[in-house]
Structure 1
Amino acid sequence: MSKQRWGAAVLAGALAIGLSVAASPAQAHDRRGGDPVRTVGYYTQWGLKDRGIPVRYLVDNGTAARLTHLNYAFGLLDEQGRCVSSDPVADYQRLIPAEQSVNGRADQPGQALAGNLNQLKQLKKKFPELRVYISLGGWTGSKYFSNAALTPRSRAEHVKSCVDLWLKGNLPGTPAGAAKGVFDGIDLDWEWPATEGNAGNVVRPEDKQNFTKLLREYRTQLRQQGFKDRKTYDLTAFLPANREAMDRGYELADVYKLLTFATVQGYDYHGTWEKTTNQQSALRVPEGDPTTPKDSGEIVVDAHIERGAPLDKITLGVPYYGRGWTGVPDRNNGLFQQSTGAAPGSYEAGYEDYRTLKTLVAGGKFKLYRDDKAGHAWLFDGTTFWTYDDPTELARKGRFIRDRKLGGAMIWSLDGDTSQGELIRGLSSGLHRR
């Protein structure tokens, strides 16, 4: 038996008796004196179409060289729970011109694979240790996860369809296996089991138990496919900050055992679904915070640990965007004040990328405020308030992750950084000792 086959057999045995899943070789980075093992970034399907950010941007601004993992968001599920591409043009049909291409060569009509997936394939060739996952679901794409997880048959059919589409690379209208080798694993962004999340999601009380069963089905089929392909396929999931959602929707200790690692929500603690201005991603609860229950990175990390999460599997999320309110009284520098609603944003009200928020400070109208004790920053111009993370706060978060001996940082989303890569450089400076 070859070493690789022997390794697959050992992994199979471990999974059969419910042991924790070991890191794949590409993940077993030297911690360099206790440094975190991973930096995970989400690249969005709509990054090029809606924001003008091609995969090439991640090379040019220094991000790709600092990532260990990239999650491509999102693949969707149909009503029966099968995996589908929601935008075939963006995923694998659009011809990318030379100036936007990772390898500097333009796509040609008739080639087997184009679009974002071909660019990710080129990115992996340029950075061979980078692990790339397909992320399924997301806030607006979690409607049918409950259907997929409902029965043994639906779970098996769901996973089979995802393996066939994304790992075997059998995309509709392309040669068989055209996208094989692009993805090294699957990331589940079910938001949230047993809790509605986005309006209209299918929700069942048994989602909690079914999510664990779905992970077991994934492990079985990923092991089988990995054996055929002589490689290890990873399985990760995005897990919530909200403690009620944790307890209602997850057998968390079991979930962590089945995952290669988890990405944990480290943002959206507050936003314009509330009228009161507040931090969205502070490390600690700011003095005077009027809300109950309190939310912070420290609270969320501790909640996962209390529920059985191993430190090295917690990958704490950080935002490359801000949340904003307007109609805010000019008191307390705008913090903890009643607003009239969401601030205007480039893509949606109350939401703005860092690369745009940075220009507000440079323009001189907005003033930057910082709470070094709680670990958060905000902008205020006397009526409009933005809570956001800048390079200073991301460096602080990197140090927090390193000091707590967590597994790393996750970024939502990579298109929010500047062309100079200011955020990734700030985060990396905190994660790694110099």
Structure 2
Amino acid sequence: MPRRTSALLAAVTVAAVLAPTAAQAHTAPRLNGQRVGYFTQWGVYSGFEFKNVQTSGQAAKLTVINYAFGNVSAEGKCFEANEAGVGDAWADYQRPVGAEQSVDGRADTTEQPLKGSFNQLRKLKAKNPQLKAVISLGGWTWSKYFSDAALTDASRKVFVSSCLDLYLRGNLPQLGSAEGGAGAGAGVFDGIDLDWEYPGGGGDAGNVSRPEDGHNFTLLVQEFRRQLDELGKKSRQHYLLTAAVAANETVADRLELPQVARSVDWLNLMTYDLHGPWEGTGPTAHQANLFADPADPSPTQRSADKVVRHYVERGLPARQTVLGVPFYAHGWTGVQPGPKKNGLYQPATAAVADLPYKDVKNLPGTVHTDWLRGAGWKYDGTTLYTFDTPEVLSYKAAYSRLGGLGGVMLWALDNDDSSGTLVKALDKGLKF
């Protein structure tokens, strides 16, 4: 179980992480721990392709890519569609990818049954043998019908079977085009990730929720494990089963963690968004600090470490606990410096739009790091952004490694810069 790091240990850890040894510099990289990176379906519309994951160096330093997201229908099934806010089969497997955007430099041909991001993901895996891919189901906007799908033994069997048929067997609907067909997507995905936000409620407005969702979540992962293992016996492989879970103790306590742990490979803790723009007038605060700060005026003084401890103490083995980290920044404006904290824990006039790391790093202002809390922020005298710097990410990855956790998960790959700076920082910390 991870221990709270003292100031001395923190300093030693950081020094070691930021100054790799000669042996580390001249030996082949070893991928310690899980490195789970989310690739967003919609990122291709802003020019982020799987080729970028390859050319930035991200792919070589990841073990799993979570493709976000697959939707759950009102009938309790996995499905594909071309309808705004419902599904994007065009981005997934129908969109022709040209040579310049392709992982291997080869353009899609007219007769291919599989195009789009799914085909590029398959190519990316071919270039990076250590890399697995899972389809992430749900997310904030597509978790509406999870509760219905998990409600009964019959509904769970139907739901799980539909997901395996669509994404693992690769039986993609043609939807009025030549792409798709029986087995067209086979070999793209190596498992399922459940992003049910959240069992028992607390997610997006309009989501179906029930008091028994926590228990039904257990039964759902058990059904996924059963059907995945049956399919794995035929294909002679182990299919991954993971889930993203809330950085919220109340939501966590709805889950039957010891039972869930017996079915999943690991759980990805969404240990970010601890504070953010929903607190529009402040006080400003860290969104993903590793350790609690006694100076934090909020009554709960939240931290990623507290979340990790909560899950482990309630039955999730440390080795199946994956620490989530953000590749984006929350921010506020109209922030005064305050007495000591350079804008931190001060009132604000308004929140500002979230920014990816690749943009916030170039903004004016001074970057501040609190090594004892494992947190960073940028402040220009009026606007403050809370985000994880590369150094903080290395620190967090070392925390995961030293604490015997399963690894790190990041949201999301397209927020990194073209050199893959943040993924490289995580890799550095996991080598400690």
Short-chain TM bin: 0.7 to 0.9
> Is the contact made by 1:36 and 1:405 (CA closer than 8 Å) also made in structure 2?
no
- What residue number does 2:49 align with? 54
Q: What aligned pairs does 1:1-400 form with structure 2 within 5 A after superposition?
A: 36-49=32-45, 51-85=46-80, 86-173=87-174, 174-247=180-253, 249-274=254-279, 275-276=281-282, 277-331=284-338, 332-343=341-352, 349=353, 351-360=354-363, 365-400=364-399
Q: Distance in 1 between matches of 2:208 and 2:51?
A: 37
- What residue number does 2:14 align with? none
Q: Is the partner of 1:72 in helix, strand or coil?
A: strand
| Amino acid in structure 2 at the alignment position of 1:267 | Y
> Is the contact made by 1:36 and 1:407 (CA closer than 8 Å) also made in structure 2?
no
> Is the contact made by 2:337 and 2:344 (CA closer than 8 Å) also made in structure 1?
no
TM-fit CA distance, 1:286: 2.1
Summarize the Cα distance change of 1:35–1:414 in structure 2 as closer, same or farther, 3 Å threshold: closer
TM-score by length of 2: 0.88
Q: Distance in 1 between matches of 2:70 and 2:136?
A: 6
| Amino acid in structure 2 at the alignment position of 1:261 | W
> Is the contact made by 2:390 and 2:422 (CA closer than 8 Å) also made in structure 1?
yes
> Is the contact made by 2:335 and 2:381 (CA closer than 8 Å) also made in structure 1?
yes
Q: Distance in 1 between matches of 2:287 and 2:102?
A: 35
Consecutive unaligned residues in structure 1, runs of 5 or more: 1-31, 344-348
Q: Distance in 2 between matches of 1:175 and 1:318?
A: 37
What are the Cα deviations for residues 318-344 of structure 1, in whole angstroms up to 9, with x where unaligned? 11111111222232411111222221x
| Amino acid in structure 2 at the alignment position of 1:83 | C
TM-fit CA distance, 1:212: 0.4
Q: Is the partner of 2:268 in helix, strand or coil?
A: strand
TM-fit CA distance, 1:146: 0.4
What are the Cα deviations for residues 25-64 of structure 1, in whole angstroms up to 9, with x where unaligned? xxxxxxx9x9842111111111111x31100001101100
| Amino acid in structure 2 at the alignment position of 1:418 | D
Q: Distance in 1 between matches of 2:370 and 2:294?
A: 9
| Amino acid in structure 2 at the alignment position of 1:41 | G
Aligned length: 389
Q: Distance in 2 between matches of 1:341 and 1:261?
A: 38
- What residue number does 2:13 align with? none
Q: Distance in 1 between matches of 2:186 and 2:422?
A: 32
Q: Distance in 1 between matches of 2:236 and 2:391?
A: 42
Q: Distance in 2 between matches of 1:145 and 1:428?
A: 34
TM-fit CA distance, 1:185: 0.4
> Is the contact made by 2:218 and 2:260 (CA closer than 8 Å) also made in structure 1?
yes
> Is the contact made by 1:196 and 1:202 (CA closer than 8 Å) also made in structure 2?
no
- What residue number does 1:15 align with? none
What are the Cα deviations for residues 81-131 of structure 1, in whole angstroms up to 9, with x where unaligned? 111231000000111111110010111223110000000000111112211
TM-score by length of 1: 0.87
> Is the contact made by 2:33 and 2:430 (CA closer than 8 Å) also made in structure 1?
no
> Is the contact made by 1:107 and 1:114 (CA closer than 8 Å) also made in structure 2?
yes
| Amino acid in structure 1 at the alignment position of 2:262 | K
TM-fit CA distance, 1:144: 0.7
Q: Distance in 2 between matches of 1:157 and 1:328?
A: 52
Would you identify which runs of 4 or more consecutive aligned residues in structure 1 move more than 6 Å?
none
